[in-house]
Structure 1
Amino acid sequence: MAPDEIDTHPAVVAAGTLADDLLAPAAAEVDRTTVPRSHLDALAAAGLLGVSAPVAVGGLGAPPAVVRRTQELIAGADLSTWFVQIQHHTCAPMALDAGREDLARDLASGRAVAGIAFSHLRRRPARLVEAVPDGAGWRLVGDAPWYTGWGINDVALLGGATDDGRVVFGVVPAREQPGLTASAPMDVAALRSAVTVTLHLDGLRLRPDDVLLVDDVEAWARRDARPSANPVPAVFGVAESALDLLAARGRRRDEPAAVEAAERLRARVLEVKAEVHHLLDEVDPDAQMPRRLRLRARAQALMVECTTALVVAGAGASMAASDPAQRKAREALFLLIQAQTRPARSAALDAFAR
């Protein structure tokens, strides 16, 4: 799609409006408190919780370039809200593939908001959460280290590993119940307001209708590795929003060095983003993995440069809890490790050590 077609797509226009009028103005308060469900409801009302969901279940079925741009705008405005809602988009396609059209429709419309806990499956052969057969269903046993949106979302998509090399995914209500309890919210340096907890699974039962996928672990891992080899759109969203703030601060203070820094950094960000989008749109998703990982690392390093420049330009004022510079810097730190795999970590360490 041409850039003007992307920018004028109704989903992108809606995301930009919500980013400017709701998410960005409230971001400092959200950072200090908790992502409000009303933010997610506003995204749902605009169709953005179903932006990538199939039209058949009430989603927008937007092209990938449009989906990416909406995620950049949401993340650039408020990364905490972005992080809660990005978990949601995994669940509707899986529900539809499993024949759960009722659930897929609820998810695509935002009547139900999903969270996910399956990143621990990437640590194979370790099995932090075991899936044990239980008649026609399954039971989950173990600790899922990361679950975001506890107390905010409605359903939880959980993953476990069997002892014979399979993965099991099931969806349950996102609340404490027999076999499921949650830790206290994690005291983390960034995105505390997204309410991330550890889920303790003590024989949580997945009924047959709760199960959305049972698959070979290696087949699942190959599919899972595709998106994590590329930078998430939020990296560009945080970088570009930091540059917008940097340029505005330079103009307001009549400091040409800040404006010039924003322009030079933006050119570098756009160059990397164009290369990333070429790989995403025109190259087989399983091809050129080393190049993808290098670009992911470059994009992350540039994001850190952008947020660091914003901190520098603000001088001592950047340390105020009310100043967006320190929040952007913490958001960048978070995105260095979000959706991280061992290959991505190695590529990033190599890039930072050069």
Structure 2
Amino acid sequence: MSKYSKLIRDNIPDLLDKNNLSYQVKILNHDQYKQGLKWKLIEEAGEVFTTDNKEDLIEEIADVYEVIEAILEANNITSDYVNLVKEKKAKLKGKFRKKLQLLNLINSEEKKDLNLSIKELETIDKAEVFLQKKVLPQANILDKDSQLLKTHFYDFNRIDSSFLRLKIDTKWQGLAMSNLGFYSWQIMIAKYSGAFAFLQTQHQSAIAFLNSSDNEILKEKYLTQIGKENYFYGVGFSHLRRKEKPLVSATVREKGYELNGFIPWITGYDIFSHFIIGATLPDGQELYGIIPFQNQNSYLELSQPLQLCAMTSTNTVTGKLNNYLLRKEDIVTIKPRNNIHLKDQENILHHGFFPLGCTFASLRIIEENLVKLDYQEIKETYFELKNQVENLQEKMLTAMVDKNVSFAEKLKLRVEAINLAHKSAIASIITSKGTANIDSHPANRVYREALVYSVSGQTLPLLKDSCYSLIKDN
């Protein structure tokens, strides 16, 4: 038995009778009727949105008119009064004839931070076209096929080299993208493929690190080579977050530093050419250098790619350093003790934009399921989650440019983003029904991506607040 829970036109029962169809209806009270009309308007507006054929469009617009007239009557509002208000608004704000699209609303106090350049906006739009056409249709395959992911990653660079140079200076052919633009980019890219988003952000992190170095010779050597002969870079310094005995130590030698220890996480094997290694000096300072991403006899031994629950195609490996000599010319920077923890606190929202993108990916699946099932409960779920993620996105982006937002407030937003990604992924699974249990189903992949984003760039405060949010009363 099919389930319907929506407002219908008055003559539908008669038509069902004539076709010998069994059905159930109920008469709504007035408040239920008014609410039902609002949902009906959303339904009909959705039909207008998805219709391209002119004749079909006319029919759907007629349905919208019919619902609006019913809403006016149910609320004792006359069409004359609505037209009067419409004309007043038109005089004050104009109509919709000039085809204008608002790209940014710039606050005078935050003008410098909020003013995305046309180049930034064009770059994001251009990248999204590639992701829609090339990445999304193969997202499930890309999650496991490293060669296909590598091909798409290199193609991405060939289409526009600025895609993989977002945060570096124009001196090095970079886009010098603002923080607001960069995090908007990260949300956008995570909508299409977690593997692709994760791979590219490793490279973006590495080149941003190189860009901040005082070693101009090193910058000339590596930043000018991005993309040439497939020169891309990864990072291998997450272990510096660990409080226990350093996993990688650095000892001063005549020609540089001798590195020894275990690297638990390096992404991009056979995709990136180099990676930035992090090591701890005897006095606790943090040493960062760049080394080739390849096995080097016994000096650097890399494992086979790890089998991850999601994004396994990004080729994450472990590494073992045995008396590896990091030469002086390959030192990116030396930072004070605990610098990584201070940066984590400063950038607590950084990894929070990926779960937002993951939520939007789940919404895409829920919306597709809504077309198939057309249940009122799915509609309510979809629009409630959509409202939540859009509001959270606005809060998080605002927090990136508002210096008055505290660490505690940003941490709370990060936890909200993680929880919303999980909630939306679960909704995408439930509304996909049994097919979501198929390994290649998009809802399955998005759910696994939400798991990854829960622990990406995890810090102790994030771990504690994430755990607390699971048990506290809502």
Q: So what's the TM-score if we normalise by structure 1?
A: 0.93
Matching of residues 136-155 of structure 1 within 5 Å: 136-155=255-274
Match for residue 333 of structure 1? 451
Match for residue 112 of structure 1? 231
Tell me the alpha carbon deviations over residues 63-97 of structure 1, each in whole angstroms, 9 at most, x when there is no partner: 22221222222211111111111111122233242
Deviation of 1:315 after TM superposition, in Å, equals 0.7
Compared CA separation, residues 3 and 327, structure 1 to 2 (3 A): farther
Q: Is 1:13 matched up with 2:115? A: no
8 Å Cα contact 2:285-2:337 kept in structure 1: yes
Q: Is 1:196 matched up with 2:316? A: yes
8 Å Cα contact 2:180-2:400 kept in structure 1: no
Match for residue 44 of structure 1? 157
8 Å Cα contact 2:143-2:194 kept in structure 1: no
Distance in 2 (alpha carbons) for counterparts of 1:109 and 1:152: 13
- Amino acid across the alignment from 1:28: N
Tell me the alpha carbon deviations over residues 23-68 of structure 1, each in whole angstroms, 9 at most, x when there is no partner: 1111111123225322222222322111222111101112222212
Q: Is 1:64 matched up with 2:179? A: yes
8 Å Cα contact 2:230-2:272 kept in structure 1: no
Distance in 2 (alpha carbons) for counterparts of 1:329 and 1:233: 16
Q: Is 1:126 matched up with 2:218? A: no
Deviation of 1:231 after TM superposition, in Å, equals 4.4
Q: Is 1:310 matched up with 2:428? A: yes
Match for residue 334 of structure 2? 214
8 Å Cα contact 2:278-2:286 kept in structure 1: yes
Deviation of 1:201 after TM superposition, in Å, equals 0.9
Instruction: Identify which range, 73-82 or 40-49, moves more after superposition.
Output: 40-49
Q: 1:319 aligns with which of 430, 434, 437?
A: 437
Instruction: Identify which range, 128-137 or 327-336, moves more after superposition.
Output: 128-137
Match for residue 2 of structure 1? 104
8 Å Cα contact 1:53-1:108 kept in structure 2: no
Match for residue 145 of structure 2? 33
8 Å Cα contact 2:351-2:456 kept in structure 1: no
Distance in 2 (alpha carbons) for counterparts of 1:233 and 1:42: 24
Distance in 2 (alpha carbons) for counterparts of 1:168 and 1:110: 28
Match for residue 270 of structure 1? 390
Q: Which has the higher contact order (CA 8 A, sep 6+)?
A: 1
Q: 1:252 aligns with which of 372, 376, 380?
A: 372
Deviation of 1:104 after TM superposition, in Å, equals 1.6
Compared CA separation, residues 68 and 42, structure 1 to 2 (3 A): farther
Cα root mean square deviation, aligned: 2.1
Compared CA separation, residues 139 and 224, structure 1 to 2 (3 A): farther
Match for residue 469 of structure 2? 351
Distance in 2 (alpha carbons) for counterparts of 1:244 and 1:125: 42
Deviation of 1:194 after TM superposition, in Å, equals 1.2
- Identity score, percent: 22
Secondary structure, counterpart of 2:208 in structure 1: helix
Q: 1:296 aligns with which of 414, 423, 442?
A: 414
Instruction: Identify which range, 67-76 or 314-323, moves more after superposition.
Output: 67-76
- Amino acid across the alignment from 1:167: E
Distance in 1 (alpha carbons) for counterparts of 2:366 and 2:314: 26
Match for residue 80 of structure 1? 195
- Amino acid across the alignment from 2:316: T
8 Å Cα contact 1:317-1:323 kept in structure 2: yes
- Amino acid across the alignment from 1:21: K
8 Å Cα contact 1:120-1:145 kept in structure 2: yes
Q: State the number of aligned residues.
A: 352
- Amino acid across the alignment from 1:42: D
Q: 1:241 aligns with which of 361, 370, 373?
A: 361
Secondary structure, counterpart of 1:339 in structure 2: coil
Distance in 1 (alpha carbons) for counterparts of 2:438 and 2:462: 33
Deviation of 1:271 after TM superposition, in Å, equals 1.5
Deviation of 1:109 after TM superposition, in Å, equals 7.3
8 Å Cα contact 2:352-2:417 kept in structure 1: no
Deviation of 1:244 after TM superposition, in Å, equals 1.7
Deviation of 1:253 after TM superposition, in Å, equals 2.9
8 Å Cα contact 2:235-2:277 kept in structure 1: yes
8 Å Cα contact 1:11-1:51 kept in structure 2: no
- Amino acid across the alignment from 1:208: K
Match for residue 282 of structure 2? 163
Instruction: Identify which range, 217-226 or 333-342, moves more after superposition.
Output: 217-226
Deviation of 1:300 after TM superposition, in Å, equals 0.5
Q: 1:54 aligns with which of 169, 173, 192?
A: 169
8 Å Cα contact 1:130-1:142 kept in structure 2: yes
8 Å Cα contact 2:248-2:262 kept in structure 1: yes
Deviation of 1:225 after TM superposition, in Å, equals 2.9
Instruction: Identify which range, 68-77 or 215-224, moves more after superposition.
Output: 215-224
Deviation of 1:102 after TM superposition, in Å, equals 2.7
8 Å Cα contact 1:44-1:109 kept in structure 2: no
Gaps of 5+ in 1: none
Gaps of 5+ in 2: 1-102, 107-114
Deviation of 1:219 after TM superposition, in Å, equals 3.6
8 Å Cα contact 1:228-1:340 kept in structure 2: no
Distance in 2 (alpha carbons) for counterparts of 1:3 and 1:236: 21
Q: So what's the TM-score if we normalise by structure 2?
A: 0.70
